[in-house]
Amino acid sequence: MTDIWIEPDTVFDGQALRSGCAVRVVDNRVAEIADDHASGAVHRIAGCLAPGFVDLQVNGGGGVMLNTSPTKAGIETIAAAHRQFGTFAVMPTVITDQPDVLDAAAHAAIAAKDDYSIVGLHIEGPHISAKRRGTHNPAYIRDLDARTMDVVTYLRAQDVTVMITLAPEAATTEQIATLSGMGAIVSIGHTDAPAALAEAAIAAGARCATHLFNAMSPMEGRAPGTVGTIINSQLHAGIICDGHHVDDRMIALALRARPAPDLMFLVSDAMATVGGPDHFDLYGQDVRLDNGRLINQEGNLAGAHITQAHGIARLVAHVGATPEAALRMAITTPAKVVGQDHRAVLIGQNVQNLNLLSDQLAQTRPFTDVFAQAVAHDAAE
């Protein structure tokens, strides 16, 4: 049995950054956090102790794309690639493709549902706007149909968390209500919808938005579009913070403009290059990394080459977010969106699911490294 007190510079408990407190670890799990901990040996360490990052939009990693490897092994490879960068919970994302690819991805998600690293399955397309498709293949875009509805129904019957990104113009409000009613998280994205149509989707049950600003009708003075509708709404919204997809000043504006705190969360939209080679195949085309940007053969952005750790650091250093707010965006809020709040707390958490970050959150390393040293030190005494 291990029973160790560890005192980092700061502790993120899922809501707030705390200093001057210690964490008690019993049998590899956090048992308590105390401002006035019991007397005796305490291991003081530099950095910020926090739960692992949660990412709800992960297309690939470790050289693997879910679309091209829609298997349990593919999901495990993607999760392992992101874990080395501090993201201990991922939502593998299958983008617009042939129906058989979605079927295979659904079966893979069911096979992997007991893996703590896997949050569920994010279905991004094919029920999107051709005009706002981004890198998605137009050949597979179609309106929401019975086949996809059946896949989501099956996933929910197997207790798999589902997020489905769709354009309001590609689905009826009745379909959105049905998806919402079965517990799927309907997320508005890849859409050219005017404000009224986006508002109708929200009224029908949509409760999230996919990569705010990207692939959606923009906000204008006399036409709020989807962007303005989302910013004004109570929807949770993911955003990519890599310096390429959205200008840092626009992210700062959105954070200030939302009607309530903690409605924004960080996503990577990561592709196979994270923890993998600098290029990969998508729809039979080579997508390459070019000065931090992933570019397809059309010259368009094709997902992102970024981790949650880098996104957090950029939020603090370039957007002006507080470290506390940045951590909530990468841990607490995404966990809440998918109804898995337990991922965002320290108490009861296994040490293997914790991160140790530098003071300005610019560097991340697994807490297990430091914890193992503390255990070895105590054993040697």
Q: Which fold has domain 3-50+346-380?
A: Urease, subunit C; domain 1 (2.30.40)
Identify the residue whose tokens are 């959205």: 246
Q: Mean pLDDT in the chain?
A: 94
Q: Are strands 279-282 and 264-267 parallel, antiparallel or unpaired?
A: unpaired
Residues of the chain with CATH 2.30.40.10: 3-50+346-380
Mean pLDDT of 100-119: 98
What share of the chain in percent tops pLDDT 70?
97
Give yes or no for a cis peptide into 126 (omega within 30° of 0): yes
Scan for tokens 């309001």, then name that residue: 168
The answer on pLDDT for 381 being more than 90 is no
- Res. 378: pLDDT tops 70: no
Least confident segment among 20-29, 55-64, 110-119, 175-184: 20-29
**Band of the pLDDT at 178, cuts 50, 70, 90?**
very high
Burial-class residue 114 by CB neighbours within 10 Å (0-12, 13-18, 19+): exposed
Q: Which of 171, 86, 123 is nearest to 352 (CA)?
A: 86
Query: What percent of the chain has a predicted confidence (pLDDT) above 90?
Result: 87
Return residue ranges of the chain for CATH 3.20.20.140.
Answer: 51-343
Tokens of 365: 């390393």
Please name which of 7, 21, 16, 11 lies closest in space to residue 332, comparing C-alpha atoms. 16
Q: What pLDDT score does 362 carry?
A: 81
Task: Render pLDDT for 11-56 as a digit per residue (tens, 0 to 9).
Answer: 999 999 999 999 999 999 999 999 876 556 888 999 999 999 999 9
* Nearest alpha-carbon partner for 288 in 271, 263, 275: 271
Whole-angstrom distance, CA of residue 89 vs CA of residue 79: 7
298-325 pLDDT, tens per residue? 888 889 999 999 999 999 999 999 999 9
Tokens of 191: 């859409």
Helices (H), 172-290: 173-181, 195-204, 225-232, 248-257
Architecture field, domain 51-343? Alpha-Beta Barrel (3.20)
pLDDT of residue 188: 98
- Quote the CA–CA distance of 127 and 152 in Å, as a whole number: 13
CA atoms within 13 A on the CB side of 64: 18
pLDDT of res. 114: 96
CA distance 61 to 42: 38
Residue 230 has pLDDT above 80, yes or no: yes
Write out the catalytic residue numbers: 269
Measured in whole angstroms, how far is the alpha carbon of residue 174 from the centre of its chain? 28
